[in-house]
Amino acid sequence: MGVPEDMAQREAGAGEGWLAAFHAGERACLGACYVEHFALVERAVGAILRGADRENVIHEVFFRLLDDSALRRSFRGGKFTAWLRVVARNEAIDYARKRRPELPLPDSSAVADEPDWIEGRVEQRTHARLTLERFRRDVLPAKWTRVFVARFVEQHDQPTAARLLGMSRTTLAYQEFRIRGLLERFVAKGERT
């Protein structure tokens, strides 16, 4: 199978061989998709998000193409670039809707220094800290613990955390994006119970 030589055929989605290779998730086909359509996804996501959020969602779009056969099968032919632009735009919109302003959590010594009249805030912070600890213990994959501690517990910015952990900022941003998704589902599940 593989990737057809004729770009017009691929663009139109007319090549049955290309479509079968895409649906099957063949490495050469998906690799060509990444190379040829990265800029398109970047523009579609960049119209909605900026900075690390934009980078996270771009990576998530291509990760979903690699990982989600149902998503690949949802393209049944036609103009591939239009379909991919809609997928990327929807991913960016969903991400933007889920984002909430982030407030840093203080360490336990900062909570102890606050006056007693702020009991409600202390309880909220304690609940948040316990929730993070439960998430780390019960849900967080061990391979992402260092990123979780650097970004969510110690509250380092991305460039500093990447430098401290000895990894690229893109890798850190991607792992942070995945951790944030797990954390949001964990918190939402806890609110329903």
Residue 110 has pLDDT above 50, yes or no: no
> How many Cβ atoms are within 10 Å of 56's Cβ, its own excluded?
24
At 102, list the tokens. 């982030």
Q: Do 142 and 121 sit in the same domain of this protein?
A: yes
Q: Do 54 and 113 sit in the same domain of this protein?
A: no
- 14 and 67 fall within a common domain: yes
- Is the Cα torsion angle 158, 162, 163, 164 positive or negative in sign? positive
Higher pLDDT, 44 or 116: 44
Is 30 inside a domain boundary? yes
Structure tokens at 160: 């500093």
Looking at the domain assignment, is residue 103 inside a domain? no
pLDDT of residue 112: 46
- The answer to whether residues 81 and 138 belong to one domain is no
Per-residue pLDDT, 23: 92
> Do residues 41 and 119 share a domain?
no
Residues 18, 87, single domain; the answer is yes
CB-CB contact of 179 with 148 (8 Å): yes
CATH number for the domain spanning 121: value is 1.10.10
If asked whether residues 112 and 92 sit together in one domain, one would say no
Among 98, 122, 155, the domain boundary falls at: 98
Residue at a domain's end among 98, 129, 147: 98
Helix (H, G, I), strand (E, B) or coil at 178: helix
Average pLDDT of every residue of the chain: 80
Look at 23-27, 41-45, 120-124 and tell me which has the smallest mean pLDDT. 120-124
**Local confidence band at 100 (pLDDT 50, 70, 90 cut-offs):** low
Residue 116, SS3?
Answer: helix
Both 94 and 137 in a single domain? no
Q: Residue 1 falls within a domain, yes or no? A: no
Burial of 42 (0-12, 13-18, 19+ CB in 10 A): middle
Does the pLDDT at position 58 exceed 50? yes
* Per-residue confidence band for 132, with pLDDT thresholds at 50, 70 and 90: confident
Question: Does residue 172 share a domain with residue 137?
Answer: yes
What's the mean pLDDT in 107-136? 62
Domain contains 33: yes
Do 26 and 75 belong together in one domain? yes
pLDDT band at 120 (very low <50, low <70, confident <90, very high): low
- On the question of pLDDT at 182 being above 60, the answer is yes
Give the mean model confidence (pLDDT) for residues 8-26.
Answer: 72
Flag whether pLDDT at 95 surpasses 90. no
Q: How far apart are CA 143 and CA 28, in angstroms?
A: 28
Residue that is last in its domain, among 43, 67, 98? 98
Residue 64 lies in a domain: yes
- If phi over 0 gives left and psi between -120 and 50 gives alpha, with beta otherwise, what is residue 75? beta
| Domain region containing 89 | 7-98
Q: Are residues 80 and 115 in the same domain?
A: no
Are the C-beta atoms of residues 64 and 181 closer than 8 Å to each other? no
* % of the chain exceeding 90 in pLDDT: 37
Same domain, yes or no, for 127 and 172? yes
